Amino acid sequence: MTMSDIEPTEADVSPPEPALDESQSVALEVDELTKIYPDGTVAVEEISFSISEGDFCVLIGPSGCGKSTTLHSLVGKIPVTEGTIRLGGEDITDEPTYERDIGLVFQDFQLFPHLTVEENIGYGLERLQVDADDRTARVEDMIEMMRLEELVDRHPEELSAGQKQRVALARSMVLKPKLLLLDEPLGDMDYKLQKHMERELLRLHRQLDTTFVYVTHDQTQAMRLADQIVVMNDGKIEQSDSVERVYNDPATAFVSAFVGDSNIFTGELTDVSDDGSYAHIETPLGTFLATTANLRSEPTSLVGERIPFSVRPQYLEVTDELDNSVSCQVEDVIHQPGSGTQVILEATTPEGAAHEIQLKSFDRIDPTGTVDVGWSADHATLLEQTSIVDGIDLETDILGE
Ligand SMILES: Nc1ncnc2c1ncn2[C@@H]1O[C@H](COP(=O)(O)OP(=O)(O)OP(=O)(O)O)[C@@H](O)[C@H]1O
């Protein structure tokens, strides 16, 4: 089979969109930030990203990847080792916390227990010696916006988790910061309350028109909230992009596996089409055609190398008429009301090794049958290699040698 024998069935490879809308101005710019703790731990290493004004940016990544270190560096709670932080164009890297114009809402809210809701909200303005009339007007505005009118005289111990969160937000927002940082503020809430508070946060974000940076390790929450997602892994940034691009065009194998479900195949890149858009990957399950659109390296420089590609479950179809197909045994059919059916399949290599494949289907699938599963080359995204994904070694555990 030569490359020219195969034309992709869906030639809808659109050029990559810019991560940031260029009509918006940049609120925050982090450039080559490194933090090494006194014991020598390199918590973040040369990370760079920027956020447009008014955007809701979510920082995600597994535990220990450096999210809190990044947040605490932004707010000035810890000194950075190298790099610069700019807010609204101004270098704030060495400024003290109170001069940074950045608000921070903690997971446990850290409200003052001896103060009422109203006093908690007004506390920062009083410390800044804002005059009494202005202070009263701003606190009243916040109370109205956060729908806290009925609760102004209560103390924090008399509030629910959701109400505490609204007070914590009000206390930060009344100071009109340029940037609001939220450190897993919904982490301890039950599922239903979390969903409710997510909607509240989105409403407030729209109303306040402030730039938000929100930290979580919950990727589904990130997808619901974010305009922009920064995916971190092991102290580095894997991808900083719009939600759509992180999901549909993951830059690395780590992003593909961490954000949403994906099928990852690994094999040797054997040849590249004349225009460089597609490549053949020879895997133990067969040779597949995949798009090179997301590769950072020149595709021809990867000929002969082992490289993964990913296909999202919704892009697999029960057919042998697309660019790629493989015969699979149906292992499990899980019906999910409202969102179709998730099918777990198993493809077996000639050597007898099994490879699990997931697909979403609205068709009826015989739970005991064998099916041909196919996907177009444009939905098979070649990825830059990251060797460890959530403890899975792509080289040895997924279609390894
Ligand atoms: N004060 C410190 N001294 C030394 N190492 C630290 C310190 N604080 C954090 N670390 C280390 O730095 C790395 C990044 O930690 P960080 O808390 O930023 O990660 P995280 O992504 O926020 O994790 P989690 O989601 O679990 O909160 C980890 O290896 C952690 O052990």
Minimum mean pLDDT among 149-153, 199-203, 372-376: which range?
Answer: 199-203
The position carrying tokens 């020598």 is: 40
pLDDT at 9 over 60: no
Pick one of 2.40.50.140, 3.40.50.720, 3.40.50.2300, 1.20.120.1810 as the CATH number of 249-393.
2.40.50.140
Tokens, residue 383: 């990825």
Say whether pLDDT at 17 is over 60: no
Distance CA 70, CA 35 (A): 8
Which whole number is the average pLDDT over 99-103? Answer: 90
Ligand 1 centre from 339 Cα, in Å?
37
**Ligand 1 centroid vs 137 CA: distance in angstroms?**
40
Locate 401 and state its tokens.
């040698």
Closest alpha carbon to 375 in 333, 345, 337, 340: 345
Nearest CA, atom 31, ligand 1 = 64
Residue whose pair of structure tokens reads 């005289």 in the numeric block = 153
Q: What are phi and psi of 367, to 5 degrees?
A: -65, -10
Substitution candidate for ligand 1 out of 44, 45, 65 with most atoms within 8 A of CB? 65
The pLDDT, as a whole number, for residue 391 is 42
- Ligand 1: residues with CB < 6 A are 37, 39, 41, 43, 61, 63-69, 217
172 contacts: CB under 8 Å, gap ≥ 6? 103, 104, 105, 124, 180
Q: Give the separation between CA 1 and CA 281, rounded to whole angstroms.
A: 12
- C-alpha 301 – ligand 1 centre gap (Å): 36
- For residue 112, how far is the Cα from the chain centroid? 32
232 bridge partner residues: 237
CA 37–ligand 1 middle distance (angstroms)? 9
- The pLDDT, as a whole number, for residue 179 is 94
**CA 65 – ligand 1 centroid, Å:** 7
Q: Is 129 helix (H, G, I), strand (E, B) or coil?
A: coil
Atom of ligand 1 nearest to the CA of 66: 18
Of 33, 63, 69, best ligand 1 pocket probe by most atoms within 8 Å of the beta carbon: 69
- Integer Cα distance of 335 and 195 in angstroms: 23
- Mean of pLDDT over the chain: 85
Give CATH for domain 26-248.
3.40.50.300
> Is the pLDDT at 15 greater than 50, yes or no?
no
In this predicted model, what pLDDT tens digit does every residue of 136-190 receive, in sequence order? 999 999 999 888 999 999 999 999 888 898 899 899 989 989 999 998 888 767 7
| Phi and psi, residue 93, nearest 5° | -50, -40
Residue 115 has, within 13 A of its CA and on its CB side, a CA count of 15
8 A C-beta contact, residue 8 and residue 377: yes
| Token pair in block for residue 394 | 């792509």
User: d(Cα 232, Cα 361) in Å, to the nearest integer?
Assistant: 31
Kindly give the number of the ligand 1 atom that is closest to the alpha carbon of 217. 25
Residue with CA nearest ligand 1 atom 13: 43
* pLDDT recorded at residue 260: 82
Which is the closest atom of ligand 1 to the Cα of 70?
18
Distance from the CA of 69 to the center of ligand 1, in angstroms?
6
Residue closest by Cα to atom 28 of ligand 1:
64
Q: Starting at the earlier edge strand, list the strands of the sheet with 82-87.
A: 42-52, 26-36, 82-87, 90-91
- pLDDT for 337 equals 66
Q: Specify whether the CB–CB gap between 286 and 323 falls below 8 A.
A: no
387 confidence band (pLDDT: 50, 70, 90): very low
Locus of tokens 């015969």 = 327
Question: What ligand 1 atom has the least distance to the C-alpha of 232?
Answer: 21
Expressed in angstroms and rounded, the spacing between residue 8 Cα and the centre of ligand 1 is: 45
CA angle 187, 97, 221 (to 5 degrees): 20
Instruction: Using the mean position of ligand 1's atoms as its centre, give its distance from the Cα of residue 40 in Å.
Output: 12
Say if the ipTM goes beyond 0.95: yes
For ligand 1, atom 25, which residue shows the shortest CA distance?
Answer: 63
Residues of the chain with CATH 3.40.50.300: 26-248
Report how far residue 230's alpha carbon sits from residue 232's, in angstroms, rounded to the nearest whole number.
Answer: 6
Atom of ligand 1 nearest to the CA of 35: 12
What CA–CA distance (Å, rounded) separates 185 from 337? 30
Question: Given this model, what pLDDT does residue 22 score?
Answer: 54
Q: Which of 33, 34, 41 to mutate to test the pocket of ligand 1 (most atoms within 8 A of CB)?
A: 41
Rounded to the nearest angstrom, the distance between the alpha carbon of 310 and the centre of ligand 1 is 30
- Position 390 scores a pLDDT of 41
State whether the Cα torsion 248-250-251-253 is positive or negative. Answer: negative
Q: Is the pLDDT of residue 3 over 60?
A: no
**What are the backbone dihedrals phi and psi of residue 97, each rounded to the nearest 5 degrees, phi first?**
-50, -45
Helices 191-208 and 161-173: crossing angle in degrees, nearest 10, is 20
Q: List every span in the chain annotated with CATH 2.40.50.140.
A: 249-393
How far apart are the C-alpha atoms of 293 and 275, rounded to whole Å? 11
Distance, in Å, from the CA atom of 235 to the CA atom of 43, rounded to the nearest integer, reads 5
How far apart are the CA of 230 and the centre of ligand 1, in A? 17
Q: How far apart are CA 267 and CA 282, in angstroms?
A: 5
Give residue-wise pLDDT tens across range 50-73. 999 999 999 999 989 999 999 999
The three-state secondary structure class of 351 is coil
Give residue 95's pLDDT band: very low, low, confident or very high (50, 70, 90): very high
Which of 165-169, 212-216, 376-380 is least confident? 165-169
Secondary structure element (H or E) that encloses residue 126, with its range: helix 117-127
Q: Is the dihedral of CA 140, 146, 147, 150 positive or negative?
A: negative
**pTM of the full predicted structure?**
0.78
Phi first, then psi, for residue 348 (nearest 5°) are -115, 135
Other CB atoms within 10 Å distance of the CB of residue 362: 7
Q: Looking at residue 18, what is its pLDDT?
A: 42
More confident residue, 235 or 198: 235
In contact, 174 and 121? CB cutoff 8 Å: yes
Choose one of 68, 74, 104 to mutate for the ligand 1 pocket test, by most ligand atoms within 8 angstroms of C-beta: 68
* Per-residue pLDDT tens over the stretch 298-355: 999 999 999 999 998 889 998 899 999 999 998 888 876 666 678 888 888 888 888 8
